[in-house]
Amino acid sequence: MLSIAAGRQIEEAFEKAGVRRTPQRFFVLEHLLTRPDHATVEDLWSALNRRHTRASRATVYNTLHALVGAGLVREFTLDGKAARYDANLDPHHHFVCNQCGAVEDVDWFDVPELPKNRAGQRRIRSFEVILRGECSRCR
């Protein structure tokens, strides 16, 4: 369950982002903040409709676009599947389970030898590491 403080935090986030507070938006951001499961639109849509809140797919898309535009959520895509959304804004890497497909955050670590030796003529702005294997539940 969500604490009052966390609820207030979400409202402030909306306010700061200049978007209206609606139940659908609240729930989407709450879901992304409380579960680091990198939900897809489909995940969010069905979670939303399992609870009291009704929401159409279009609203989930609209909400996510608003949140991404406001910098509250990041979008990323893995293996050509549907986009996933992540409210963890700290830099981090990702782990993908080969068995169940779960996506988990991995604390940030630097790759020290990288920018110095491997850039060549390119300018490297960012990088991420994608790890694959079996998650703790699937091993």
Q: Does 80 bind DNA (CB under 7 A)?
A: yes
Which part of the chain contacts DNA (CB under 7 A), choosing from 59-67, 92-100, 118-126, 131-139?
A: 59-67
Kindly identify the residues of this chain, within the stretch 1-60, that bind a second copy according to CB under 8 A.
Answer: none
Q: Which amino acid is at 139?
A: R
Which part of the chain contacts a second copy (CB under 8 A), choosing from 19-27, 48-56, 61-69, 109-117?
A: 109-117
Residue 16 or 57 having the CB closest to DNA:
57
- Residues 60 and 71: their CA atoms lie apart, in Å, by 16
3-class SS at 16?
A: helix
Q: Which of 54, 76, 99, 124 binds DNA (CB under 7 A)?
A: 54
Nearest to 94 by CA among 37, 15, 12, 23: 37
Residue 24 or 40 having the CB closest to a second copy:
40
Q: Which of 55, 67, 73, 97 binds DNA (CB under 7 A)?
A: 55
Which part of the chain contacts a second copy (CB under 8 A), choosing from 5-13, 32-40, 45-53, 98-106?
A: 98-106
- Counting Cα atoms < 13 Å in the Cβ hemisphere of 121 gives 0
Q: CB under 8 Å to 96, separation ≥6 — which residues? A: 78, 79, 102, 103, 130, 131, 132
- Residues 95 and 132: their CA atoms lie apart, in Å, by 6
The residue ranges that bind DNA (CB under 7 A) are 19-25, 40-42, 53-59, 61-63, 65-66, 80-83
